[in-house]
Amino acid sequence: MSKKLLRQLFPQEKPIIGMIHLRALPGSPRYDPETMDMERIIALAVEEARMLQDQGVDGLQVENIHDFPYLPGEAIGPETAASLAVATHRVIQAVSIPVGVNCHLNGGMQALAAAVAAGGGWIRVFEWVNAYVSHAGLTEGIGAKLARYRSFLKAEAVRFFCDVNVKHGSHFLISDRSVEEQAFDAESEGAEAIIVTGFETGQAPTPEKVRRLASAVGIPLLLGSGVSVQNAASLLEFADGAIVGSAFKKEGNWKNPVDPQRVREFMRSVEEIRREGRAK
């Protein structure tokens, strides 16, 4: 995917993708059908999706973030893929902006199956190539499996958005390779967009890290954590868009509900950035 092809998904410059953080799904330790069954989970997801769209967000990404402690990708059960597919489909029916899927942790096969079933436009893959040590243990690249699975499903329209030097883990296994080299690895092995993050959820990458990655790849570069009203201009100067979760939530905490005022303020700042970019 060249940088121009990002516009096939998003007509806007520097698109902002808002997170739909599904409550704990069936099969996960925190799932409680008495207080939060699937219908309630979906209703909340649809409510937040419409709220984000109403405040100007350009796309949405549905994920099972409350399913911790996370299983490694190959151990994630069919109940998770099925739940993600149903919830994503209902979100897609409720909005008119593009929607993607992410399955923790590095559940790319499950995310792709859900995206195909639901009509999603992309999936996020935490480890496309190489390997790192995550909360779930050794997490290895799954790009080769995903490329073949997408071909098998005849789902080339679902794009691969892939992290490099992803948050929540140790990358000592490939410490002899720079972040730019890791990004080159991902691009050369078929990643269609690169995601750059800080070290934790809600923590931003440095502008220098974003600049270095932007100069190292020829595919879109998306910010994947920590983007806020305060740092959006410095980070989006080099990035092609952003995935935003914490900044849209009450008190900036990803576990809280979406705060429409925070979303509105953020999108106003992004529109100013877009206007300044067009004026240059």
Residues 43 and 50: their CA atoms lie apart, in Å, by: 11
Beta-strand runs (E) in the chain: 16-21, 59-63, 99-102, 122-125, 131-134, 137-140, 159-163, 169-170, 193-196, 221-223, 241-244
Stretch 20-29: mean pLDDT: 98
Stretch 104-133: mean pLDDT: 96
- Looking at residue 2, its pLDDT comes to 62
What sections of 154-216 are H helices per DSSP? 179-188, 207-216
Stretch 131-142: mean pLDDT: 87
Q: Model pTM? A: 0.95
Nearest to 239 by CA among 205, 202, 280, 189: 205
Stretch 246-275: mean pLDDT: 97
- Looking at residue 200, its pLDDT comes to 60
- Looking at residue 171, its pLDDT comes to 65
Is the per-residue pLDDT at 4 higher than 80?
no
Quick one: pLDDT band at residue 173, thresholds 50, 70, 90? low
Quick one: pLDDT band at residue 199, thresholds 50, 70, 90? low
Rg (alpha carbons) of the chain, rounded to whole number: 17
Nearest to 180 by CA among 165, 160, 193, 199: 165
CA distances from residue 259 to 4, 43, 47, 255, 256 in whole angstroms, order as listed: 32, 17, 12, 12, 9
Stretch 1-29: mean pLDDT: 91
Residues 33 and 53: their CA atoms lie apart, in Å, by: 28
- What rounded mean pLDDT belongs to the chain? 93
